Amino acid sequence: MKNIKQLGIWMDHSNAYLMELTDDIIITNIVESEFVLQDNKYNLQYHEKSFHNKEQQQQLSYYKRLSGFIRKYQEVVIFGPTDAKIELLNLLKSDHLFENIKIEVKQTDQMTEYQRHDFVREYFK
């Protein structure tokens, strides 16, 4: 029987935990977004437009890095508490390279490492 390459991704806008499932063993890699929120309120108001553009570019870069990992798998579940997973899915749907990859999105809360691993194992059972 052919092994199906399966990946679970728990993500929010700042971090993604990529969990590859092979023979009930999970190997986790972490991808961090480059986006950093600055606390300087005056600076944010004064440069709001450039700040927004920079934020969008950094998020797009984050999603493109994640898509590079996803391309190697046949089945992917993306889960987490924010809309980041939907934003990533929309990017993937617009690229024909992901047409043959089964990708599903699930809403979850914050999770510990053990909860994330259990979720991935249960999903791919």
Written as tens digits, the pLDDT of the chain (125 aa) is 457 899 999 999 999 999 999 988 999 999 999 865 444 454 555 566 666 677 788 899 999 999 999 999 999 999 999 999 999 999 999 999 999 999 999 999 999 999 999 999 999 99
CATH number at 46 reads 3.30.420.60
Tokens of 7: 């990946």
In a domain, 112, yes or no: yes
In a domain, 41, yes or no: yes
In a domain, 1, yes or no: no
Range of the domain at 107: 6-123
For the whole model, what pTM was predicted?
0.83
In a domain, 97, yes or no: yes
